[in-house]
Amino acid sequence: MLTILNAIKRVLVGRPYRNDRLAHTLLPKRIALPIFASDALSSVAYAPDEILLTLALAGVSAVTISPLVGIAVMLVLLTVVASYRQNVHAYPSGGGDYEIANVNLGKYAGLTVASALLVDYVLTVAVSMSSAANYLATAVPGLHGSQALIAVVGVVVLALVNLRGIKEAGSVFAVPTYIFMASILGMTLVGIFQALTGTLGRAPSAAFEIIPDSGYENGLVGLAGGFLLLRAFSSGAAALTGVEAISNGVPNFKKPKSKNAATTLLLLGGVAAAMLAGILFLASATHVHIVQDPATEFLLNGKPLPAGYVQNPTISQLASTIFGSGSILFFVVVAATGVILVFASNTAFNGFPVLASILAQDGYLPRQLRTRGDRLAYSNGVIALAAGALILIVAFDADVTKLIQLYIVGVFVSFTASQLGMIRHWGRELKLVKDRAVRTRILRSRTINTIGFCMTGLVLMIVLITKFQHGAWIALLAMFILFLIMWSIRAHYDNVAKELSVDEDASPRALPARVHAVLLVSHVRKPVLRALAYARASRPSRLDAITVDIDPEETERTVEDWEKLEIPVPLTVLASPYRETLTPILDYIKHMRRDSPRDLIVVYIPEYVVGKWWEQLVHNQTALRIKARLHFEPGVMVASVPWQLKSSEEAKKLQELQ
Residues 592-607 pLDDT 10s: 888 888 889 999 998 8
The highest-confidence range among 183-197, 367-381, 644-658, by mean pLDDT, is: 183-197
The Cα–Cα gap between 487 and 115 comes to 10
User: What is the span of the domain harbouring residue 160?
Assistant: 2-491
Mean pLDDT computed over 405-412? 79
Choosing from 441, 457, 491, the residue where a domain stops is 491
More confident call, 618 vs 192: 192
In this predicted structure, the answer to whether residue 618 has a pLDDT above a threshold of 70 is: no
Q: What is the pLDDT of residue 286?
A: 94
Where b means 16+ CB within 10 Å and e means fewer, 267-287 reads bbbebbbbbbbbbbbbbbbbb
Choosing from 458, 491, 524, the residue where a domain stops is 491
Same domain, 464 and 538: no
Closest CA to 409 of 469, 452, 356, 355: 469
DSSP designation for 300: E
In this predicted structure, the answer to whether residue 307 has a pLDDT above a threshold of 80 is: no
Spatial CB neighbours of 16, under 8 Å, sequence gap ≥ 6: 374, 375
In this predicted structure, the answer to whether residue 73 has a pLDDT above a threshold of 70 is: yes
- Side chain identity at residue 37, one-letter code: A
Give 581-609 as a 3 state SS string: CHHHHHHHHHHHHHHCCCCEEEEEEEEEE
Handedness of CA 171, 172, 177, 179 (dihedral sign): positive
- Can you name the residues that pair with 465 across neighbouring β-strands? none
Greatest Cα pair distance, the chain, in angstroms, is 106
Question: Coil, strand, or helix at residue 292?
Answer: coil
Q: What is the pLDDT of residue 11?
A: 47
Spatial CB neighbours of 316, under 8 Å, sequence gap ≥ 6: 135, 138, 333, 334, 337
Q: What is the pLDDT of residue 657?
A: 46
Residues 312-347 pLDDT 10s: 889 999 999 999 988 999 989 988 887 887 777 777
**Confidence label for 20 from pLDDT (cuts 50, 70 and 90):** very low
Same domain, 114 and 164: yes
Residue 508 burial by Cβ neighbours in a 10 Å radius (0-12, 13-18, 19+)? exposed
Residue 509 within a domain: no
CATH number of the domain enclosing 562? 3.40.50.620
Question: If phi over 0 gives left and psi between -120 and 50 gives alpha, with beta otherwise, what is residue 198?
Answer: left
Number of domains in the chain: 2
DSSP designation for 566: T
Question: Has this prediction a pTM greater than 0.75?
Answer: no
- Can you name the residues that pair with 27 across neighbouring β-strands? 253
Going by DSSP bridges, is the β-strand pair 600-609/636-644 parallel, antiparallel, or unpaired? parallel
DSSP designation for 375: T
Give 608-652 as a 3 state SS string: EECCCCCHHHHCCHHHHHHHHHHCCCCCEEEEEEEEECHHHHHHH
Least confident of 17-21, 147-151, 234-238, 436-440: 17-21
Same domain, 305 and 351: yes
Choosing from 476, 491, 506, the residue where a domain stops is 491
Where b means 16+ CB within 10 Å and e means fewer, 577-600 reads eeeebeebbbebbeebbeebeebb
Same domain, 356 and 441: yes
In this predicted structure, the answer to whether residue 62 has a pLDDT above a threshold of 90 is: no
Residue 506 within a domain: no
More confident call, 496 vs 420: 420
What share of the chain in percent tops pLDDT 70? Answer: 87
Residue 320 within a domain: yes
| Contact status, residue 300 vs residue 209, Cβ threshold 8 Å | yes
| Contact status, residue 58 vs residue 216, Cβ threshold 8 Å | yes
Residue 505 within a domain: no
Least confident of 104-118, 145-159, 410-424, 492-506: 492-506
Question: Coil, strand, or helix at residue 448?
Answer: helix
Residue 76 burial by Cβ neighbours in a 10 Å radius (0-12, 13-18, 19+)? buried
The Cα–Cα gap between 395 and 61 comes to 35
The Cα–Cα gap between 576 and 593 comes to 20
Instruction: For the chain, give the mean pLDDT.
Output: 82
- Side chain identity at residue 138, one-letter code: T
Residue 52 burial by Cβ neighbours in a 10 Å radius (0-12, 13-18, 19+)? buried
Same domain, 10 and 146: yes
Residue 568 within a domain: yes
**Confidence label for 652 from pLDDT (cuts 50, 70 and 90):** low
Least confident of 222-226, 388-392, 488-492: 222-226
Q: What is the pLDDT of residue 406?
A: 79
| Contact status, residue 74 vs residue 276, Cβ threshold 8 Å | yes
CATH number of the domain enclosing 396? 1.20.1740.10
| Contact status, residue 278 vs residue 192, Cβ threshold 8 Å | yes
In this predicted structure, the answer to whether residue 2 has a pLDDT above a threshold of 80 is: no
The Cα–Cα gap between 128 and 343 comes to 8
Cis upstream peptide for 256 (omega within 30°): yes
Spatial CB neighbours of 160, under 8 Å, sequence gap ≥ 6: 12, 13
DSSP designation for 253: B
Question: Coil, strand, or helix at residue 311?
Answer: coil
In this predicted structure, the answer to whether residue 1 has a pLDDT above a threshold of 50 is: no
Same domain, 481 and 523: no
Closest CA to 133 of 394, 333, 400, 327: 400
The Cα–Cα gap between 382 and 394 comes to 19
Closest CA to 136 of 286, 298, 312: 312
Same domain, 439 and 550: no
Mean pLDDT computed over 516-521? 93
The Cα–Cα gap between 88 and 39 comes to 18
Same domain, 45 and 96: yes
Same domain, 101 and 145: yes
Residue 451 burial by Cβ neighbours in a 10 Å radius (0-12, 13-18, 19+)? middle
Give 11-41 as a 3 state SS string: HHHCCCCCHHHHHHHCECHHHHHHHHHHHHH
Q: What is the pLDDT of residue 311?
A: 82
Q: What is the pLDDT of residue 186?
A: 95
Residue 245 within a domain: yes
Residue 4 burial by Cβ neighbours in a 10 Å radius (0-12, 13-18, 19+)? exposed
Residues 354-364 pLDDT 10s: 888 888 888 89
Residues 161-201 pLDDT 10s: 777 665 445 566 678 888 999 999 999 999 999 999 999 99
The Cα–Cα gap between 354 and 378 comes to 7
Residue 507 within a domain: no
In this predicted structure, the answer to whether residue 221 has a pLDDT above a threshold of 80 is: no
Query: What is the distance in angstroms between the CA of the first residue and the CA of the last residue of the chain?
Result: 15
Same domain, 352 and 436: yes
Same domain, 475 and 548: no
Same domain, 486 and 566: no
Residue 226 burial by Cβ neighbours in a 10 Å radius (0-12, 13-18, 19+)? exposed
Closest CA to 412 of 83, 46, 25: 83
